[in-house]
Structure 1
Amino acid sequence: MVAEPKIIGHPLPFSKTLFGTIKRACWCIPEIVGSSALAVVGIAMATIGVMNYINTDGDNREYKWVYTVIRDDDPRACKLKNPVYTQYKC
């Protein structure tokens, strides 16, 4: 009787395409693939949040830690959060 060779590794064949490589990575190292995917999602969400903050002039708060003097001819004078307390005519 001849002993059959033992198969080392996983018996599932994966294709040699990019999708097959991703499937093989998910099969072999799921922790690394999952954490990498969550990291990419987190970086994308942080980028979108920072872009929204910049586009909506997020640093223009009514109450600040440091006083800021804004003159009449400053273009930021029209963007004040609470225009009730201002004397500017924009």
Structure 2
Amino acid sequence: MSFSDDPTVRIVSVTVDDDRLTVDLTDGRTVSVPLAFYPSLLGASQEQRGHWKLIGRGRGVHWPDLDEDLSLKGILMGTPSAQGGQRLAG
């Protein structure tokens, strides 16, 4: 099992600034990814970026105002999103 497939690791908080998406994880890690990887977040307002919810029991994040979903696995692997976001059922 790779570190990105550990079923016990979950997202506990999300921060988005003008440059980075940062997630805090249940195992104590903090992971930051360039916001340029996620075009819909990059073009969003601070208010839209701040309106998120955890999905899939912390295995992903959903931004309802943007219809954007990102998976923890994709964030950990540094995978840029497709222009409409990656879907993850919650």
**TM-score over 0.5 for the pair:** no
The structure in which a higher percent of residues are helix is 1
Select the structure with the greater relative contact order (CA < 8 A; seq sep ≥ 6): 2
> TM-score, normalized by length of structure 1?
0.16
The structure in which a higher percent of residues are strand is 2
